[in-house]
Amino acid sequence: MMKISRRQFLGATAAVTAGAGLFSFEMLTKLDPASAAADNSETKQFRNVCPRNCYDTCGQISFVQDGMLKKVDGDPKHGYTNGRLCVKGYTYTRRVYSPDRIKYPMKQMPRGSGNWTRISWDEAMDTIAKKILDLKKRYGSTLPICFDKYSGNFGILHYAADGTMSSIGYTTRAVGTPCWPAGIDAQTYDFGTLYNNDPEDMVNTKYLILWGQNLAWTAIHSLPFAQKARENGAKLVVIDPILTSTASKADLYIQIKPSTDGALALGMARYILDNNWVDWDYARANSVGFDEWIDYLKNNVTLDWAASKTGVPKEIIMEIAREYATSKPASMWVGYGMQRHTNGGQNVRIIDALGVMTGNVGKSGGGVNYGQLETWGFNYGAMSYSAPKGSRGIVGANGKEGDRSININNFAHDVMAQQDPPVKMLWLACRNPGGQDPDTHAIEKMFASMEFVVSVDSFFNKTVQMSDIVLPATTHFENWDVNASYWHYWIGINEMAIQPMYESKSDLEIAMLLSKKMNALEAGSCTYPTSGSEQEWLAKEFNAALNASLGISNYKELSNGPRKVKMPPAAWSDGKFRTPSKKIEIHSNQAEKNGLPALPIWVEEMKAPEKYPVRLMTPHPQLGLHSQFQNLDWMMAANPEPKLEIHPNLAAKYGIQEGDKVKVFNDLGDITLKAHLTRTTSENVVVSYEAWYNKSNYNVNYTVKAIPSDMGKQATGNNGLAFHDNFVDLQKV
């Protein structure tokens, strides 16, 4: 555990720039709690939005005194997060003032040595710009430069990082999303896009199935709405291979065999059909291919089959089928974990069909709820710059030159595979592939083969450790932004609450700075603007339609509180589906064209290979979000090391006892961690939550293969990752 003495701190920051205040945690600590609770008129409050990759995207109020962030609370004007944060959100002062923060641009010589030297912003920009121009000269294009950005910060102005790349020429881009694309495609084939009911509408449901969704850890602010529904008599059913904290609260918990969710839904559908609880009117009026699927159910699905496939007894399938079909309205929330399988998207399509057959789509209190992007109607001006005249790229299907796309979900392999020209340089923003991509060994190898790597980050994580130059990123308290959620319907402004710490800059400022340098070195080599305040840029992200949907005439009104986009509480209540046929496509020609079954029928799950009989599931952690938060000192104190959750029966087979060190391995790699014996996991499933612990090389992805899930290509460019189809063996160390 780190300890920060004032002297060490001063030593480490002897050369901070003028304006950046000296800081130690003791300055935040109140020896006399009375001072904490005392009114202080000098405290300024700002509105912020937590920009992490999270359902909840909380409205925050930051409390600032003498330029220092003193604490962060929930914004009471936010109707979904309602003035409260989660365990992670309350630790933000530790992120902002962490002594581990990257304080100024630094270069590492040689890469991977840990031998970092502070450099000036000018030297950093000069080095990077010269490298870009050098590669362009050598290869005749900027295609050797590969850009990988994803979910480290979902603020709209952070798309400036994408803009940086567009404005220097055509580059190689990591395309796709690792998290949820199979489910997105499932809903795209079925409904035209993903679109969930307002989560606040959950209070109106009479029956709630959380299908592979653990809101207690990943969407805590939905809990009160689910609770309210239960107070009104709704039954809560949780289907999950892991008995999560959410599942522990359910009226009925079903420990399904992983990746067989579609079989359970098919069994339910068959029983609903046999008892004629089908909403024929809704299904036939609103969908195509429904009767074809009914024939499939009649000919191919039996309850006995569903029971043996899923491990769920027939009576239970009958019970939930009856209750789901006859409680009106009934709601399902499909979690992202359950689609991280080789048949994950297909399983979501089957669950969608179950919602359609019971008439629960388009209804308040109903829905097959997965996520939405309806509220993201910004201009994306920060990313919309075109390549300089004369830039050379890859000729696309439209005959025009453009960027070269590679698969974000097979990043290591695809970067290495590029020829003519090869990839020589990486630019990473809001992204930590060293921590989060599958097959960490392959990622390490790929990074080692690069000529030059630039990352923009706040901490020396695995990706930064493999970089030549790191640029210090601001936290969201140190820049302006605007944020929407992929779950609730609220939009909030993120005000600059404190000055950027040390020499940190936002992706937007970096974009402008690099453009200045590029153009100084070679006029016309970068089209990105070189001026404009963050607030000016922010203003440009709004348009008349967005303003109208928020009931504002100027974005500045968001400083009075977050606003909810005006949409009906139930998705698809207008019946205007966005598929080619404008109906729900139970039969999807699009799916068929992409080599998938046209109908939501059963597709076999991936089986454990003989050599590696145990499934290792690596779901989201409680005290972190991917590689964020768990490294902070408060989190390390609360959860100092990773554990392997293992069923006592499985542990007995390997002679493993509580606290024993266990090596978890397969042909790809291994991890070693302490065992925690628990009956909250299935007998043949071990669980370790993905996370980056401070000063630790622990990373579940050393064992995870880049196996694609079945869907994702249609809407997101590439298929997802079957993170949970990961098989290992165990050994007591």
Partner 1 sequence: MNKQLGFLHNSEKCVGCRGCEMACKNLYQTDISQRWRQVFQIDENAYPLPSRMFISIGCNHCSEPQCMKVCPVGAYTKRDDGIVIHDDNRCIGCRLCVMACPYGRPQFNSVINIVQKCNLCYQRVDKGEKPACVASCVAGALELVQINSSLDAKTGVLKTLPGLPSPSITNPSIRFVGPKQGKQVRRD
Judged by CB, which is closer to partner 1: 206, or 587?
206
**Long-range pairs of 288-295 with CB within 8 A, sequence gap ≥ 24:** 288/581, 288/583, 288/584, 288/585, 288/586, 288/587, 289/585, 289/586, 289/587, 289/588, 289/598, 289/599, 290/356, 290/357, 290/586, 292/586, 292/587, 292/599, 293/353, 293/586, 293/587, 293/599, 293/600, 293/601
Spell out where 660-712 has E strands.
661-665, 670-677, 685-687
Among 14, 32, 114, 574, the residue binding partner 1 under the rule CB under 8 A is 32
**Among 137-145, 202-210, 358-366, 678-686, the segment contacting partner 1 (CB under 8 A):** 678-686
Minimum distance from residue 237 beta carbon to partner 1 (Å): 9
Among 506, 618, 682, 714, the residue binding partner 1 under the rule CB under 8 A is 682
User: What is the distance between the alpha carbons of residues 584 and 576, in angstroms, rounded to a whole number?
Assistant: 9
Among 26, 66, 304, 658, the residue binding partner 1 under the rule CB under 8 A is 26
The distance from CA 480 to its chain's CA centroid, rounded to whole angstroms, is 21
Binding of residue 251 to partner 1 (CB under 8 A): yes
Binding of residue 601 to partner 1 (CB under 8 A): no
Minimum distance from residue 302 beta carbon to partner 1 (Å): 19
Binding of residue 561 to partner 1 (CB under 8 A): no
User: What is the distance between the alpha carbons of residues 559 and 645, in angstroms, rounded to a whole number?
Assistant: 45
The distance from CA 580 to its chain's CA centroid, rounded to whole angstroms, is 29
Judged by CB, which is closer to partner 1: 92, or 147?
92
Among 255, 436, 627, 718, the residue binding partner 1 under the rule CB under 8 A is 255
* Contact criterion met (CB below 8 Å) for 471 and 101: no
Question: Identity (one letter) of the amino acid at 37?
Answer: A
Question: Identity (one letter) of the amino acid at 358?
Answer: T
Among 16, 316, 567, 608, the residue binding partner 1 under the rule CB under 8 A is 316
Both tokens of 674, joined, read: 């302490």
**Among 31-39, 346-354, 562-570, 602-610, the segment contacting partner 1 (CB under 8 A):** 31-39
Binding of residue 590 to partner 1 (CB under 8 A): no
CA distances from 266 to 210, 276, 299, 528 (A): 17, 15, 12, 52
Judged by CB, which is closer to partner 1: 380, or 654?
654
Backbone angles phi, psi at 369, to 5 degrees: -95, 125
**Among 32-40, 355-363, 691-699, 705-713, the segment contacting partner 1 (CB under 8 A):** 32-40
Minimum distance from residue 28 beta carbon to partner 1 (Å): 4
Binding of residue 70 to partner 1 (CB under 8 A): yes
Binding of residue 248 to partner 1 (CB under 8 A): yes
Of residues 639-668, those binding partner 1 (CB under 8 A): 647, 649
Q: Which residues pair with 116 in a beta bridge?
A: 108
Minimum distance from residue 94 beta carbon to partner 1 (Å): 9
Burial class (CB in 10 A: 0-12, 13-18, 19+), 663: middle
Among 123, 126, 683, 729, the residue binding partner 1 under the rule CB under 8 A is 683
**Among 215-223, 448-456, 463-471, 660-668, the segment contacting partner 1 (CB under 8 A):** 215-223
The contact mask relative to partner 1 for 273-292 (x = CB under 8 A, - = no) is --------------------
Binding of residue 622 to partner 1 (CB under 8 A): yes
Question: Identity (one letter) of the amino acid at 55?
Answer: Y
Binding of residue 308 to partner 1 (CB under 8 A): no
In this structure, how many other beta carbons lie within 10 angstroms of the beta carbon of residue 143? 25
Residues near partner 1 (CB under 8 A), total: 68
Minimum distance from residue 236 beta carbon to partner 1 (Å): 8
**Among 114-122, 242-250, 323-331, 444-452, the segment contacting partner 1 (CB under 8 A):** 242-250
Judged by CB, which is closer to partner 1: 209, or 428?
209
Could you tell me the end-to-end alpha-carbon distance of the chain, in angstroms, rounded to an integer?
Answer: 24
Burial class (CB in 10 A: 0-12, 13-18, 19+), 673: middle
Within 13 Å, how many C-alpha atoms sit on residue 118's CB side? 13
User: What is the distance between the alpha carbons of residues 166 and 381, in angstroms, rounded to a whole number?
Assistant: 12
**What sign results for the dihedral spanned by CA atoms 19, 25, 31, 32?**
positive
User: What is the distance between the alpha carbons of residues 379 and 540, in angstroms, rounded to a whole number?
Assistant: 7
Burial class (CB in 10 A: 0-12, 13-18, 19+), 190: buried
Minimum distance from residue 244 beta carbon to partner 1 (Å): 7
Binding of residue 84 to partner 1 (CB under 8 A): yes
**Among 133-141, 382-390, 628-636, 706-714, the segment contacting partner 1 (CB under 8 A):** 628-636
Binding of residue 50 to partner 1 (CB under 8 A): no
**Among 84-92, 152-160, 191-199, 590-598, the segment contacting partner 1 (CB under 8 A):** 84-92
Binding of residue 312 to partner 1 (CB under 8 A): yes
Minimum distance from residue 679 beta carbon to partner 1 (Å): 4
Judged by CB, which is closer to partner 1: 71, or 663?
71
User: What is the distance between the alpha carbons of residues 364 and 625, in angstroms, rounded to a whole number?
Assistant: 31
Residue whose structure tokens are 């070269």? 404
**Among 312-320, 421-429, 484-492, 528-536, the segment contacting partner 1 (CB under 8 A):** 312-320
* Contact criterion met (CB below 8 Å) for 169 and 139: no
Within 13 Å, how many C-alpha atoms sit on residue 299's CB side? 7
Judged by CB, which is closer to partner 1: 89, or 712?
89
Among 589, 678, 696, 731, the residue binding partner 1 under the rule CB under 8 A is 678
Residue whose structure tokens are 């289907």? 239
Q: Using CB under 8 A as the criterion, which residues of the chain lie in contact with partner 1 when the complex forms?
A: 1, 3, 25-26, 28-34, 36-38, 70-74, 84-91, 93, 216-217, 220-221, 223-224, 227, 236, 243-255, 257, 311-313, 316, 622-623, 633-634, 636-638, 647, 649, 678-680, 682-683
